[in-house]
Amino acid sequence: MHHIINTYDTVEQGKVYPLFEKLVSREVKEEKLGQHAKVIWFTGLPCSGKTTLALALEKELFSRGFLCQVLDGDNVRCGINNNLGFSNADRLENIRRIAEISRLFLSAGVITINAFVSPTNEIRELARGIIGSDDFIEIFLNPTLDVCEHRDVKGMYKKARAGQIADFTGVNAPFETPAHPSLEIHTDTEIIEISLQQILSTILPVISLTA
């Protein structure tokens, strides 16, 4: 009797190995969508402008015919990661899950725009390793800490300085500056339109099929 392989074939002491070769390839999906999938990863201090720029970028790319998905704390920590806190171990697991989700979007040909503090080199390298360096576009938003605190309408910095929030990046937890980001933007001295144009200049050549 011939062995019939299902979507998953179980081998080696009960381990399950997904048979990705049976899926429609990423290249075929990208051709269908008319784009090259990439993960655009915004990193920076809380209130540095990550979500604002991520949403602006999504709208601009969508208007140009690209299919995108934004991931940020609001739609991740309220759902798939709602069991995680902000310890170093939980931050690592948060980013690991996000990177794995991003990789699934990549396999579907979808451009993923991620907006996460991701404060340490270890965390960002974890994401890059899962996603793959060729598909990982790191954009570092680098306003001053004072500007970030001034923009903080939720009062999180104030609570952290009062000892009401532990492990808050920029106050009682470190932020390590990325060594070699694809792009660095000073969102304290540039208007959003200028920042958006810089981002588009960086990513359009690599997400466009005709580039």
Residue of 99, 103, 107 whose CA lies nearest to 81: 99
User: Helices then strands (H, E): number in the chain?
Assistant: 8, 7
Cα distances (Å, whole numbers) of residue 150 to 87, 90, 115: 25, 27, 20
With a cut of 50, say whether residue 5 has pLDDT above it. no
Specify the amino acid at residue 142: N
3-class DSSP state of 53 = helix
**Catalytically annotated residues:** 118
Which CATH architecture fits 25-207? 3-Layer(aba) Sandwich (3.40)
Dist. CA 88–CA 85, nearest whole Å: 9
Quote the pTM value: 0.87
pLDDT at 16 over 60: no
State what percent of residues in the chain have pLDDT above 90: 76
pLDDT in tens, 138-165: 999 999 999 999 999 899 999 999 999 9
How much is the pLDDT for 3? 43
pLDDT tens digits, residue range 46-87? Answer: 999 999 999 999 999 999 999 999 999 878 888 888 898 888
